[in-house]
Amino acid sequence: MSSHTMQNPQHSAPPKQRSRFGQLLRELWFQVLLGGVLGILVGFLLPSVGQQLTPLSDWFIALVKMIIILVVFCVVTLGVASMDSLPKAGRIGIKALGYFIVLSLISMLIGLVVANVFHPGDGMNIDVSKLNGDKIPGAGKSFDGLEFVTSLIPTSFFGALTGSAIPAALLVSIVFGAALNLSGESGAVLTSGIRALSTVVFRIVGWLMRLAPFGTFGALAAVVAKYGFISLQQLGYLILLFTLTCIVYVLVVLGIIAKSCGLNIFTVMRYFKDELLIALATCSSEAVLPQVMKKLENMGVGKPTVGIVIPSAFSFNLDGSAIYLTMASVFLAQAVGIHLSREQQLAMVGIMMISSKGTAGVTGGAFIVLAGSLGAVSGIPTAALALIVGVDRLLNEGRVFINVIGNVLAAVVIGKWERDFDPEQARKTLHASGQKKPAIESKTPASVEADKVEVH
């Protein structure tokens, strides 16, 4: 027997298969998925235990939010400071704002059309007087434009960096980055310091992402334990209709946008699968903001574009929430027997377009906007929100999914528009993400060290 034959048993398939499974266990997306499955089982089989696990999700989100403002400051400041010309920052901001408005309008109109065509609330004949609206989040509040603009201006420079408001941090970061850009050699030392800080910050992000499976486990265990399948039975048609609308929106609207940029929507979702799973489990798009920014840079979108578009998009470009707002409004009107004219519905869209920007970064912001906007034009009593407050957490799944993937494509679109996007690198990176080896990453100055901590 030859030596080659003698050595074959040492290289048999089972060890390789075990090795592949071991690699799978080290993948963040698989850990998150496993945590979700275990959470669902615990919530269903041991509801009393599941209801006590909410803090796991709350703690994870709180830890990520702890670092978000620093991520925004580092990325935005470095992006603006490294620009060849400051007018480019203004162009990116204006183009991003225009894109956000168009997509939000399209999303709201889609929700409006679906609700009017399929009539999810017809036949419910709800008596509003029997609903208790005292504990509805956002009840009695209305949009105050002056208050919103005031909230964008922090009370102090460092207050913006120690607070939790992304819009205020974004404003300070842009101003500080512009000052560094114009300071020449004097600002170079500070720029280098912020670049070093960015490396440290993204290392912390890498550590925090390893806790995502625990956050997922706690979130889904608590949701299943609290709601079970009762809510699905009560408002199943609305949940099903909203879910299907979200799926069609991703495949058609976002699919067309991805195609126009030379990308495939399924490949993009696969590349961001970790972030999408975490966002779905925790119902928080902010929880994945740092990783989304880093992965977009790796994908070939320029740092200036990522730095300006993504923080503002996660505050102002909430397309999933836009679909929800109009669909839920019409559903509630149908449920309580109120007829909304075409003019009333369009006026409602206009009000929600503005007021939805006033809850940027607020947990459950879409529901608060809905509560504050219902009576403005439609005349729908706020108490009607009691019908969907119990299933808002379930409806939030579709909202955060679209918000995350929609913001990713927003950065790509603006990057391509500004010629700050490398489609060849994007194709290589997206292709590599589906292979055994890690994705090809761009070595931008602020991400060379940060790339080392990317969780796989």
**Pair of tokens at residue 377:** 């034009």
Percent of the chain residues past pLDDT 70, beyond the cut: 76
Q: How confident is the model at residue 387 (pLDDT cuts 50, 70, 90)?
A: confident
Residue 185 — pLDDT band, cuts 50, 70, 90? confident
**What confidence tens digit (pLDDT) does each residue in 189-216 have?**
898 898 899 889 888 888 888 888 888 8
pLDDT on residue 421: 92
Burial of 226 (0-12, 13-18, 19+ CB in 10 A): middle
CA distances from 212 to 166, 204, 222, 333, 454 (A): 22, 13, 15, 38, 14
**Average of per-residue pLDDT values in the chain:** 78
* Nearest C-alpha neighbor of 84 from the set 191, 197, 182: 182
Least Cα distance to 383 among 338, 445, 443 occurs for: 338
Nearest partner of 75 among 274, 311, 413, judged by Cα:
311
> Tens digit of pLDDT for each residue in 95-108?
998 999 899 899 99
Structural contact between residues 392 and 321, judged by C-beta atoms closer than 8 angstroms = no
Q: Are 189 and 435 in contact (CB under 8 A)?
A: no
Taking only the tens place, the pLDDT of each residue in 324-351 is: 888 988 888 888 888 888 888 888 888 7
From its phi and psi, is residue 249 left (phi > 0), alpha (psi between -120 and 50) or beta?
A: alpha
Non-local (6+) Cβ contacts of 326 within 8 A are 108, 109, 111, 112, 115, 345, 348, 349, 352
Query: Which pLDDT band, with edges at 50, 70 and 90, does 231 fall under?
Result: very low
What pLDDT was estimated at residue 416?
93
DSSP state of 449: T
Phi, psi of 140 (to 5 degrees): 85, -5
121-166 pLDDT, tens digit per residue, is 887 766 666 555 444 544 445 545 566 567 667 777 877 777 767 7
pLDDT computed for residue 258 by the predictor? 94
Cα angle 155, 158, 164 (rounded to 5 degrees) comes to 75
Question: What are the distances in angstroms from CA 413 to CA 96, 246, 406, 423, 451?
Answer: 9, 20, 10, 11, 24
Q: Which of 8-22, 54-68, 250-264, 403-417 has the lowest mean pLDDT?
A: 8-22
pTM of the model: 0.70
Q: Which of 313, 317, 328, 312 has the alpha carbon at shortest distance from 368?
A: 328
Length of the chain equals 456
Residue 26 CA neighbour count, 13 Å, CB half: 11
DSSP string, 356-421: GGGGTT-TTHHHHHHHHHHHHHT---GGGGGGTTTTHHHHHHHHHHHHHHHHHHHHHHHHHHTT-B
DSSP-based three-state secondary structure for 301: strand
Residue 441, pLDDT score: 40
- Structure token digits, residue 85: 């010309």
Residue 301's beta-bridge partner residues? 421
The pLDDT-based confidence of 228 (bands split at 50, 70, 90) is low
Nearest CA among 118, 152, 282 for reference residue 214: 282
Task: State residue 21's pLDDT score.
Answer: 65
Integer Cα distance of 348 and 186 in angstroms: 51
Q: How confident is the model at residue 353 (pLDDT cuts 50, 70, 90)?
A: confident
236-245 mean pLDDT: 88
Q: What is the pLDDT of residues 280-322, one digit of tens each?
A: 887 777 778 888 999 999 999 988 899 888 888 877 788 888 8
Closest CA to 418 of 311, 310, 257, 301: 301
C-alpha Rg value of the chain to the nearest Å: 23
